[in-house]
Amino acid sequence: MSNTPELEKKFDARLEQNDFIEPKDWMPENYRKHLIRQISQHAHSEIVGMLPEGNWITRAPSLRAKMVLLAKVQDEGGHGLYLYTAAETLGTSRDELLDALHTGKAKYSSIFNYPTLTWADIGAIGWLVDGAAIMNQVMLQRTSYGPYSRAMVRICKEESFHQRQGYEIMCRLSFGTAEQKEMAQDALNRWWFPTMMMFGPPDKDSPNSEQAIKWRIKRETNDELRQKFVDRTVEQAEYLGLTIPDKNLKWNEAKKGYDFTEPDWSEFYNVIKGNGPCNKERLDARNQAHKNGEWVRAAAAAYAKKKKEAVAA
Ligand code: FAQ
């Protein structure tokens, strides 16, 4: 029953009708592989994304800020879990997925290879990085694979809280002392272009987009989402009294959107090849955490085994 034209035709017709494809449905092998690649990279991004912010939990400037940041970082761990589970429904295992991350074979979002130097960076991550993540994830709620779509619905609800916590920090700093405002501006200067890279390379250089759109895995292209993100963020920066570090940023009435400078794509490719400022640190931290958690996995497995035996007896 492999890849027969009849099954393929039925599959295409279901996509055409915006039906969800479910784990037990027939699907082309390349659709399955494409999804495992994207969902697992997304899952890895969530858990590696915990590291730059986790770094600030002990240094948050108030108890409230600490509690909010702790909750946010914990949410990201939860997002990783929903996504790994969604990937597992495609016939891969958690061990295989994590092994690919830990050995550097699998990618995760380029953005998490940049350092968080000041508290304002926590604001900038929430505002910009979560803002970009939501822009991308809102369209993924309508992705064609059911388990991925359902994970995205839940994740989007939590991400919008994350974006607001970041914007709140930016508001406090931007409307605070001159020194605080300067910190906010410095964070915006450093995070702007790396955030724009999160949407992936320009459409003309994106090898996966065309097929992803055909399969309705992606509903909008990298460039479309980047444009939407810029258009939405300019106003938010204006409210804060901060300047987006792009001299070419200009409203274009004809396209009803902003013209802007593209990020430095050579920097992007360098980062995703493993040569960003924190790639090594992030992978070392993940590997160490995995090793430290070994006894927890062993204890959980032993408990599950005992419980199963007790039920069977
Ligand atoms: N970083 O052909 P395309 C978050 C790779 S979640 C690293 O355009 P595609 C939450 C791409 O994988 C952020 N690699 O690829 C949070 C491909 O390589 P491959 C993550 C990138 O898949 C917030 C190659 O370049 N979100 O932040 C990147 O059609 C705060 C060619 O690219 C998702 O993963 C990149 N930025 O489009 C957590 C959303 N861009 O696999 C903590 C789901 C591209 O062929 C704190 N993913 N590449 O070897 C997607 O929507 C897509 O996979 C894209 C890339 C848009 C990321």
In the prediction, which pLDDT does 136 show? 95
Instruction: State which ligand 1 atom lies nearest to the alpha carbon of 199.
Output: 56
Query: Ligand 1 pocket by C-beta < 6 Å: which residues?
Result: 37-38, 41-42, 45-46, 49, 76, 107, 109-110, 125, 129-130, 133, 136, 197-201, 206-209, 212, 222, 272
Nearest ligand 1 atom, CA 108: 7
Residue whose CA is closest, atom 4 of ligand 1?
133
Separation of 45 CA from ligand 1 center, angstroms?
A: 8
User: For residue 137, which atom of ligand 1 is closest to its CA?
Assistant: 39
Q: CA–CA distance from 115 to each of 54, 119, 153, 178, 273 (Å)?
A: 12, 12, 29, 23, 17
Centre of ligand 1 to C-alpha 107, Å, is 8
pLDDT at residue 182, rounded to an integer: 98
- Tell me the pLDDT of the chain (313 aa) as tens digits: 556 889 999 999 999 999 999 999 999 999 999 999 999 999 999 999 999 999 999 999 999 999 999 999 999 999 999 999 999 999 999 999 999 999 999 999 999 999 999 999 999 999 999 999 999 999 999 999 999 999 999 999 999 999 999 999 999 999 999 999 999 999 999 999 999 999 999 999 999 999 999 999 999 999 999 999 999 999 999 999 999 999 999 999 999 999 999 999 999 999 999 999 999 999 999 999 999 999 999 999 999 999 999 999 8
Interatomic CA distance for residues 128 and 170, integer angstroms: 10
Burial-class residue 4 by CB neighbours within 10 Å (0-12, 13-18, 19+).
Answer: exposed
Q: Which of 119, 115, 233 is nearest to 179 (CA)?
A: 119
Q: From ligand 1's centre to the CA of 174, what distance in Å?
A: 30
pLDDT at 313: 86
Shortest-distance Cα residue to atom 34 of ligand 1: 42
What does the pLDDT read at residue 30?
97
Which of ligand 1's atoms lies nearest the C-alpha of 39? Answer: 43
What would you report as the CA-atom Rg of the chain, rounded to the nearest whole angstrom?
Answer: 21
Q: Name the residue of 81, 109, 199 to mutate for ligand 1: max ligand atoms within 8 A of Cβ.
A: 109
Structure tokens at 67: 């509690």
**Nearest CA owner, ligand 1 atom 12:** 107
Probe residue for ligand 1, chosen from 35, 40, 41 as the CB with the greatest number of ligand atoms within 8 Å: 41
Tell me the C-alpha distance between 140 and 130, whole Å. 15
The pLDDT of residue 212: 97
pLDDT of residue 2: 57
* Distance between Cα 270 and ligand 1 center (Å): 15
Contact 126, 167 (CB under 8 A): yes
CA of 307 from ligand 1 middle (Å) equals 40
Look at residue 4 in the predicted model and tell me its pLDDT.
82
- Determine the distance separating the centroid of ligand 1 and the alpha carbon of 154, expressed in angstroms: 19
Q: How far is the CA of 208 from the centre of ligand 1 (A)?
A: 10
Q: What is the DSSP string of 83-134?
A: HHHHHHTTT--HHHHHHHHHTT-S---GGGGS---SHHHHHHIIIIIHHHHH
